[in-house]
């Protein structure tokens, strides 16, 4: 069913959230045995269900996926087939979206302080047949830079809504000055956009990981943008009110009531333009789980330290935002199963990187840990693999689907030195957005 076949408020049958305990433990054990750890496991069916739930909750809106949450080809193809559009933060994301099959008409490039190479590439692709593509500018300069390149296509203007929200101050973007044109200059930049090309949309984004309990900033943003849309001439076709829908990371957090959020959004959206939303996390977060093995177990005065083979280079969120991810043991239980019953033990779960920040979880109660235990780190489909790095020369992990198909192969030690000088300096000067790099076929 496509979004437009639904009526507002129609309930979908998908469970509102997949908890870490809902994953099939046997299946995860066998994937870890086959592919090794650390390993991200992704369930495309869950991505599909999340897309369907969004389309059901926002039947009259355009729903775009914020590609940055997880750019793997498997996720992009699943989201494209579900009928969502793609909101892209860079030329690389635009390339990935086009390669995954998104028609240009469903691709929006949000140019935040855009590097020249990104604009060069996107304008080239637009000229080569992607004329349905929309570029969002958040500054007058970006508009001028597009005009200098001969761009006269669809333009959306990102406005700073003056209100922000999010799970952490580092992702509370709505009131940060680097995002969007100031509200009181929006009119002027929209007029300029219509001189350069075709002004089609307004955009604003409150921040990421907004809980259902505090939608006030989101509602203010929606109302402000609707008011602005009604005042503009020419009027925008659409207004994207951004992403930011939060998901529960701990057992205590309730799932977001998506229908209530949609109702609140519609109520505040009092204008003639088409509503657009662009969630990232909501689409993929609970469709992913991380598997890691305990490599060392050490008793200290304060706690039992469980050293694991995944760390801040595998999953950055705990180190960067103090983010909570549920950690479970698949090797022992604290009750129920006699074969694996072990004493509940207070643990610190730490990774293999030489930084105090390399902690995946503090004060976690696990069945008394043993070397070789398999642990899961929950709700890691969004901003997990995507933010992985090779710091400490740790190759990035593999990603597989629940069915055992490779989404991304494990990086090797040879991959780590692949880009270092070997007498051939092609690609060193300036930035390069060759598509071969995106597809990985120039290795
Ligand atoms: C412009 C924009 N749109 C959408 C998103 C998606 O946010 P989320 O993953 O919280 O839905 C982000 C990230 O916060 C963003 O910066
Ligand atoms: N990377 C952030 C979300 C930021 C979204 C980008 N605007 C997180 O893991 O929560």
ipTM associated with this complex? 0.99
Do the annotations mark residue 280 as ligand-binding?
yes
Mean pLDDT for 129-152 is 96
Q: What is the pLDDT of residue 222?
A: 98
The DSSP symbol for 341 reads B
For ligand 2, the distance from its centroid to the CA atom of residue 206, given in whole angstroms, is 12
Instruction: Give φ, ψ of 319 to 5 degrees.
Output: -70, -40
Is the pLDDT at 7 greater than 60? The verdict is no
pLDDT digits (tens, 9 = 90+) for 22-70: 999 999 999 999 999 999 999 999 999 999 999 999 999 999 999 999 9
Mean pLDDT for 209-235 is 94
Residue spans per domain, the chain: 45-279, 286-416
Can you give the length of the chain in residues?
A: 443
User: What is the signed CA dihedral for 28, 33, 37, 40, rounded to 10 degrees?
Assistant: -30
Q: Are 89 and 68 in contact (CB under 8 A)?
A: yes
Q: Which fold has domain 45-279?
A: TIM Barrel (3.20.20)
Instruction: Give φ, ψ of 218 to 5 degrees.
Output: -60, -45
Q: What is the pLDDT of residue 189?
A: 97
pLDDT category, 440, cuts 50, 70, 90? very low
pLDDT category, 80, cuts 50, 70, 90? very high
Ligand 2 contacts CB of residue 249 (under 6 A): no
For ligand 2, the distance from its centroid to the CA atom of residue 324, given in whole angstroms, is 14
Neighbouring residues of 340: CB distance < 8 A, sequence distance ≥ 6 = 331, 332, 333, 367
Ligand 2 contacts CB of residue 171 (under 6 A): yes
- How far apart CA 127 and CA 99 sit, in angstroms, is 16
Q: Is the peptide bond before 234 cis (omega within 30 degrees of 0)?
A: yes
Is the pLDDT at 3 greater than 70? The verdict is no
Domain 286-416 has CATH 3.30.1330.10: no
Q: How many CB atoms lie within 10 A of CB 323?
A: 18
Task: Write out the E strands in 161-287.
Answer: 181-182, 198-203, 238-240, 274-277
pLDDT digits (tens, 9 = 90+) for 142-154: 999 999 999 999 9
51, 156, 271, 354: the active-site residue? 354
Q: Which residues line ligand 1 (CB under 6 A)?
A: 66, 69, 87, 110, 171, 173, 205, 208-209, 242-245, 278-282
Neighbouring residues of 241: CB distance < 8 A, sequence distance ≥ 6 = 204, 205, 218, 221, 222, 225, 265, 269, 275, 276, 277
pLDDT digits (tens, 9 = 90+) for 368-393: 999 999 999 999 999 999 999 999 99
pLDDT digits (tens, 9 = 90+) for 396-405: 999 999 999 9
pLDDT digits (tens, 9 = 90+) for 167-196: 999 999 999 999 999 999 999 999 999 999
Do the annotations mark residue 278 as ligand-binding?
yes
Q: What is the pLDDT of residue 261?
A: 95
Q: What is the pLDDT of residue 333?
A: 84
Instruction: Give φ, ψ of 330 to 5 degrees.
Output: -95, 5
Task: Write out the E strands in 248-325.
Answer: 274-277, 288-299, 304-308
For ligand 1, the distance from its centroid to the CA atom of residue 180, given in whole angstroms, is 14
For ligand 1, the distance from its centroid to the CA atom of residue 46, given in whole angstroms, is 20
Question: Active site includes 354?
Answer: yes
pLDDT category, 1, cuts 50, 70, 90? very low
Q: What is the pLDDT of residue 165?
A: 92
Collapsing DSSP to helix, strand or coil, 40 comes out as strand
Is the pLDDT at 9 greater than 60? The verdict is no
pLDDT category, 14, cuts 50, 70, 90? low
pLDDT category, 437, cuts 50, 70, 90? very low
Atom of ligand 2 nearest to the CA of 316: 9
Is the pLDDT at 197 greater than 90? The verdict is yes
pLDDT category, 17, cuts 50, 70, 90? confident
- Counting ligands in written order, the one closest to the CA of 156 is 1
Collapsing DSSP to helix, strand or coil, 402 comes out as coil
- How far apart CA 437 and CA 443 sit, in angstroms, is 8
- How far apart CA 7 and CA 242 sit, in angstroms, is 22
Collapsing DSSP to helix, strand or coil, 277 comes out as strand
Ligand 1: residue whose CA is nearest its atom 13:
208
Q: How many CB atoms lie within 10 A of CB 424?
A: 7
| Better-scored residue on pLDDT, 132 or 213 | 132
Is the pLDDT at 10 greater than 80? The verdict is no
- Helix and strand totals (H; E) in the chain: 13, 18
Atom of ligand 1 nearest to the CA of 383: 9
């Amino acid at each position: 069913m496509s979004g437009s076949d639904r009526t507002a408020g129609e309930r979908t049958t998908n469970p509102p959230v997949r908890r870490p305990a809902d994953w099939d433990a046997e299946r995860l054990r066998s994937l870890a045995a086959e592919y090794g750890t650390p390993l991200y496991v992704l369930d495309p069916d869950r991505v599909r269900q999340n897309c369907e739930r969004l389309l059901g909750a926002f039947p009259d809106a355009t729903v775009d996926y914020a590609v940055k949450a997880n750019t793997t080809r498997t996720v992009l193809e699943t989201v494209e087939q579900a009928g969502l559009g793609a909101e892209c933060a860079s030329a690389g994301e635009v390339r990935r979206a086009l390669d995954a099959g998104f028609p240009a008409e469903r691709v929006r490039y949000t140019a935040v302080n855009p590097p020249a190479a990104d604009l060069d590439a996107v304008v080239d692709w637009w000229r080569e047949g992607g004329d349905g593509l929309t570029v969002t500018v958040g500054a007058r300069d970006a508009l001028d830079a597009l005009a200098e390149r001969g761009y006269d296509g669809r333009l959306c203007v990102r406005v700073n809504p003056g209100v922000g929200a999010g799970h952490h101050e580092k992702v509370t973007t709505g009131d940060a000055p680097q995002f969007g044109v100031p509200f009181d200059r929006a009119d002027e930049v929209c007029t300029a956009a219509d001189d350069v090309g075709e002004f089609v949309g307004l955009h604003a984004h409150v921040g990421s990981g907004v809980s259902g309990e505090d939608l006030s900033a989101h509602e203010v943003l929606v109302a402000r943008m609707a008011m602005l849309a009604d005042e503009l001439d020419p009027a925008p076709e659409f207004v994207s009110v951004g992403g930011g829908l939060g998901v529960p990371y701990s057992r205590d957090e309730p799932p977001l009531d998506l229908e209530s959020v949609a109702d609140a959004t519609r109520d505040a959206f009092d204008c003639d333009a088409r509503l657009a939303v662009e969630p990232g996390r909501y689409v993929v977060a609970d469709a992913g789980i991380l598997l890691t093995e305990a490599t060392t177990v050490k008793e200290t005065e304060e706690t039992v330290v469980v050293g694991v083979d995944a760390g801040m280079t595998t999953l950055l969120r705990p180190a960067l935002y103090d983010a909570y991810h549920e950690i479970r043991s698949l090797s022992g239980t604290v009750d129920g199963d006699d074969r694996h019953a072990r004493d509940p033990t207070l643990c610190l779960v730490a990774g293999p990187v030489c930084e105090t920040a390399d902690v995946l979880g503090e004060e976690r109660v696990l069945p008394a840990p043993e070397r070789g235990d398999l642990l899961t780190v929950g709700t890691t489909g969004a901003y997990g693999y995507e933010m992985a790095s090779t710091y400490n020369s740790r190759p990035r992990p593999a990603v597989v689907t629940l069915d055992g198909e490779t989404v991304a192969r494990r990086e090797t030690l040879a991959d780590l030195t692949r880009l270092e000088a070997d007498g051939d300096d092609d690609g060193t000067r300036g930035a390069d957005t060759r598509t071969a790099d995106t597809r990985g076929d120039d290795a």
